[in-house]
């Protein structure tokens, strides 16, 4: 029996108080995610239950932590941060690979009432800089491997007081503002007064990219737990004996909402693998740890499909009970393939950094319509809006903008220092997601695409603006325009069109050099997979580059009205 039971019954008398009661929380009480994920689970009698099974890149390196270990170690991390003068409300960035310290540090930050700002460790110095500067970050928790990227931008970050290196152990000479901290060597803090955060206390700052402007810091608060707890329970169906694996990195929202908060607030054992994708490594990980619930992403599933069916047969995957996916459109073939070859279908889930928790999902027990995102979570009021009037569309299967009434606990509270952009997300009282979809006669949502120029490559949202700006910093580039192009595995990848400055000639070497430049500055996924040299970029008469024309060319679509084009 699944946790949700009957979806239709749950719709009837739904209230978020279901989650509040189970969490023993009453509105007005203190609520601290760090405490809920550790101390409370211990109080419920699960102190000795395994919370985390961590495996390094090298498969022989594993570490296990009980809930009591997590409780004590997060206390220890939290007290260390306090001893540095980090207080409630201060932003503390986590910038490292998926080491146990990342997870424990996250909980420690929340326990002192500070704000966790996780950033993906593959970010280059420019991506890191704009996010740390915007957040006014006070400390960065990192590793020896990634600390040099912080050092490189340190002079431009007056608010940054500490670079905490968790794996230094005094072996290397510390650089400016660096301080070594080892959880193994620190004196364990058994008792710790968790900061009394309340429902609206700021917990997390996740950065997400839009079409224009710099990335936006999405502000989440401690009461997001209420949505994250219940969606984990009802959609991921986590149960007492499950061994759970969320493949997402905590640098992204899936890795925190469902890679830390959801499973641990339910007291469930989870596995973490610190490695990139490899079909064999992943299947072996499932077999070895008898993973029963697996939350992954379409690009990974397509990569598994590409690796072939033979490799699946070499492993015993019968421990898998339930599978789910998020981040990009999950194509019907992937659902059918996983059911046929792995034995269980992936259940698609749709949500955003801004929503903080799942919005539209295929629930356990519900008939999956492959290719559909499923139905709205109980308690939500969804609609498809007409893009001109922003009024709900009543006609079945007519495309519209996915929107919700703004009333669930995990919703973002604002964009950090950018209330204006936040306000623009609303029309007629609806929160506009920026995605388009249809709804069929039975209430299933069918994703169509994004309503902006953001590129979703393998689940990573890339702002064309950020890549264009970075391209302009290369000495050879005069002008640039960035769009997506189709890709078999990642659905879409970044493609750049550039014009060169006088004195530079198009060549393959230059293309590689520019690609590398972007990879180092921004990230591997923001790196254009192809650079096309142009003599002129298509522009409107007012001089604005028309990405639309270039996009249509890449996707073989009609170009549409180009009457305002300057240069043809
Ligand atoms: C896209 C990730 C199709 C969508 C949790 C959304 C999806 C953006 C799906 C949010 C899905 C997410 N099907 N598209 N199941 N899930 N998306 O903020 O465009 O990194 O707005 O949050 O990813 O990406 P974000």
Measured CA to CA in angstroms, residue 227 lies from 5, 249, 359, 379, 441 at distances of 18, 20, 10, 10, 27
Measured CA to CA in angstroms, residue 6 lies from 235, 239, 359 at distances of 12, 17, 17
Indicate the helix (H) or strand (E) that contains 405.
Answer: strand 400-405
292 close to ligand 1 (CB < 6 Angstrom): no
Q: What is the pLDDT of residue 169?
A: 72
Question: Residue 548 falls within a domain, yes or no?
Answer: yes
254 close to ligand 1 (CB < 6 Angstrom): yes
Question: Residue 149 falls within a domain, yes or no?
Answer: yes
- Nearest ligand 1 atom to alpha carbon 434: 21
435 close to ligand 1 (CB < 6 Angstrom): yes
Measured CA to CA in angstroms, residue 162 lies from 108, 250, 477, 554 at distances of 16, 21, 36, 45
Domain count, the chain: 2
Distance CA 465, CA 474 (A): 15
Residue bearing the CA closest to ligand 1, atom 7:
328
φ, ψ for residue 152, nearest 5 deg: -60, -30
Q: What is the pLDDT of residue 477?
A: 98
> Where is the domain boundary, 221, 236, 263?
221
Query: CB of 72 within 8 A of CB of 96?
Result: no
Cα 517-523-525 angle, rounded to 5 deg? 110
Question: Residue 21 falls within a domain, yes or no?
Answer: no
282 C-alpha to center of ligand 1: Å? 23
Distance CA 203, CA 372 (A): 32
Residue 164's nearest CA partner among 150, 421, 155, 229 is 150
**Pocket test residue of 250, 299, 328, 353 for ligand 1, highest count of atoms within 8 A of CB:** 328
227 close to ligand 1 (CB < 6 Angstrom): no
> Where is the domain boundary, 171, 195, 221?
221
Please count the CA atoms within 13 angstroms of the CA of 408 that sit on its side-chain side.
30
208 C-alpha to center of ligand 1: Å? 11
Measured CA to CA in angstroms, residue 559 lies from 5, 547, 550 at distances of 48, 11, 8
327 close to ligand 1 (CB < 6 Angstrom): yes
Question: Residue 137 falls within a domain, yes or no?
Answer: yes
115 C-alpha to center of ligand 1: Å? 24
Pairing mode of beta strands 477-487, 491-500? antiparallel
Distance CA 367, CA 6 (A): 12
- Nearest ligand 1 atom to alpha carbon 360: 15
197 close to ligand 1 (CB < 6 Angstrom): no
Q: What is the pLDDT of residue 566?
A: 60
Query: CB of 360 within 8 A of CB of 331?
Result: no
Angle between helices 464-472 and 508-521 in degrees, nearest 10 = 120
- Nearest ligand 1 atom to alpha carbon 325: 15
435 C-alpha to center of ligand 1: Å? 9
437 C-alpha to center of ligand 1: Å? 12
296 C-alpha to center of ligand 1: Å? 13
Distance CA 481, CA 469 (A): 9
Question: Residue 89 falls within a domain, yes or no?
Answer: yes
Task: Round to the nearest angstrom and report the end-to-end CA distance of the chain.
Answer: 63
Residue 499's nearest CA partner among 537, 467, 544 is 537
- Nearest ligand 1 atom to alpha carbon 461: 20
> Across-strand partners of 208?
216
Distance CA 348, CA 336 (A): 12
Distance CA 110, CA 82 (A): 12
> Where is the domain boundary, 206, 221, 236?
221
478 C-alpha to center of ligand 1: Å? 33
450 close to ligand 1 (CB < 6 Angstrom): yes
**Pocket test residue of 352, 360, 361, 445 for ligand 1, highest count of atoms within 8 A of CB:** 352
The predicted model scores a pTM of: 0.96
Q: What is the pLDDT of residue 245?
A: 98
Structure tokens given for 113: 């009432």
373 close to ligand 1 (CB < 6 Angstrom): yes
Question: Residue 30 falls within a domain, yes or no?
Answer: no
Q: How many Cβ atoms from other residues are within 10 Å of residue 44's Cβ?
A: 12
Domain of 481, CATH number, reads 3.30.300.30
296 close to ligand 1 (CB < 6 Angstrom): no
326 C-alpha to center of ligand 1: Å? 7
298 close to ligand 1 (CB < 6 Angstrom): no
Distance CA 328, CA 349 (A): 9
Question: Residue 432 falls within a domain, yes or no?
Answer: no
Q: What is the pLDDT of residue 568?
A: 46
Residue bearing the CA closest to ligand 1, atom 8:
352
454 close to ligand 1 (CB < 6 Angstrom): no
490 close to ligand 1 (CB < 6 Angstrom): no
- Give the domain range for residue 486: 453-555
Q: What is the pLDDT of residue 1?
A: 86
Domain of 85, CATH number, reads 3.40.50.980
170 C-alpha to center of ligand 1: Å? 42
φ, ψ for residue 427, nearest 5 deg: -140, 130
Question: Residue 107 falls within a domain, yes or no?
Answer: yes
Structure tokens given for 243: 């061994």
**Pocket test residue of 351, 432, 446 for ligand 1, highest count of atoms within 8 A of CB:** 351
**Pocket test residue of 258, 461, 523 for ligand 1, highest count of atoms within 8 A of CB:** 461
155 C-alpha to center of ligand 1: Å? 35
Q: What is the full per-residue pLDDT of the chain (568 aa) written as tens digits?
A: 899 999 999 999 999 999 999 999 999 999 999 999 999 999 999 999 999 999 999 999 999 999 999 999 999 999 999 999 999 999 999 999 999 999 999 999 999 999 999 999 999 999 999 999 999 999 999 999 999 999 999 999 999 999 999 998 766 678 999 999 999 999 999 999 999 999 999 999 999 998 888 899 999 999 999 999 999 999 999 999 999 999 999 999 999 999 999 999 999 999 999 988 899 999 999 999 999 999 999 999 999 999 999 999 999 999 999 999 999 999 999 999 999 999 999 999 999 999 999 999 999 999 999 999 999 999 999 999 999 999 999 999 999 999 999 999 999 999 999 999 999 999 999 999 999 999 999 999 999 999 999 999 999 999 999 999 999 999 999 999 999 999 999 999 999 999 999 999 999 999 999 999 999 999 999 999 999 999 999 988 888 888 999 999 999 998 776 665 665 4
Distance CA 310, CA 279 (A): 11
């Amino acid at each position: 029996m699944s946790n949700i039971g009957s979806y239709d019954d749950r719709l009837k008398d739904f209230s978020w108080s279901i989650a509040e009661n189970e969490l023993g929380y009453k509105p007005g009480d203190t609520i601290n995610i760090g405490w809920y994920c550790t101390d409370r689970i211990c109080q419920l009698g699960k102190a000795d239950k395994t919370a985390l099974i961590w495996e390094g890149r090298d498969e022989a390196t594993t570490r296990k932590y009980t809930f009591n270990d997590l409780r004590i170690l997060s206390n220890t991390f939290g007290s260390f941060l306090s001893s540095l003068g980090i207080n409630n409300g201060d932003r503390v960035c986590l910038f490292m690979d998926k080491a146990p310290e990342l997870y424990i540090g996250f909980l420690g930050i929340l326990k002192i009432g500070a704000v966790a700002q996780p950033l993906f460790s593959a970010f280059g110095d420019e991506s890191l800089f704009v996010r740390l500067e915007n957040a006014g970050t006070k400390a960065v928790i990192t590793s020896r491997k990634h600390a040099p990227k912080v050092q490189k931008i340190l002079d431009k970050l007056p608010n940054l007081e500490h670079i905490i290196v968790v794996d230094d152990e005094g072996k290397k000479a510390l650089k400016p503002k660096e301080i070594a901290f080892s959880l193994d060597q620190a004196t364990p803090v058994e008792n710790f007064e968790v900061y009394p955060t309340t429902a609206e206390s700021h917990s997390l700052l996740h950065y997400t990219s839009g079409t224009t402007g710099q990335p936006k810091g999405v502000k989440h608060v401690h009461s997001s737990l209420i949505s994250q707890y219940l969606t984990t329970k009802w959609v991921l169906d986590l149960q007492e004996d499950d061994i759970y694996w969320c493949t997402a990195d905590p640098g992204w929202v899936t890795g925190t909402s469902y890679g830390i908060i959801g499973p641990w607030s339910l007291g469930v054992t989870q596995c973490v693998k610190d490695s990139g994708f490899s079909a064999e490594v992943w299947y072996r990980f499932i077999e070895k740890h008898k993973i029963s619930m697996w939350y992954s992403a379409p690009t990974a599933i397509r990569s598994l499909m590409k690796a072939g069916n033979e490799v699946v047969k070499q492993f015993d995957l019968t421990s898998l009970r339930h599978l789910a996916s998020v981040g990009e459109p999950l194509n019907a073939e992937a659902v059918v393939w996983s059911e046929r070859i792995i034995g269980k279908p992936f259940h698609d889930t749709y949500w955003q950094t801004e929503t903080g928790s799942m919005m539209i999902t295929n629930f356990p027990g519900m008939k999956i319509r492959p290719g559909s995102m499923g139905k709205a979570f109980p308690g939500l009021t969804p609609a498809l809006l007409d893009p001109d009037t922003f009024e709900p569309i009543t006609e079945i299967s007519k495309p519209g903008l996915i929107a919700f009434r703004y009333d669930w606990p995990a919703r973002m509270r604002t964009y950090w220092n950018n209330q204006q952009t936040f306000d623009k997300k609303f029309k007629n009282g609806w929160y506009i997601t920026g995605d388009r979809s249809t709804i069929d006669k039975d209430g299933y949502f069918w994703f169509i695409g994004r309503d902006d120029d953001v590129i979703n490559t393998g689940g990573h949202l890339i702002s064309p603006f950020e890549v264009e700006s970075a391209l302009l910093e290369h000495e050879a580039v005069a002008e640039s325009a960035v769009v997506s192009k189709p890709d078999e595995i990642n659905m879409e990848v970044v493609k750049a069109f550039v014009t060169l400055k006088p004195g530079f000639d198009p060549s393959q070497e230059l293309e590689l050099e520019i690609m590398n430049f972007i990879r180092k500055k921004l990230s591997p996924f923001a790196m254009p997979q192809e650079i096309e040299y142009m003599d002129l970029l298509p522009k409107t008469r007012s001089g604005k580059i028309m990405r639309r024309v270039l996009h249509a060319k890449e996707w073989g679509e009609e170009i549409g009205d180009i009457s305002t084009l300057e240069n043809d």
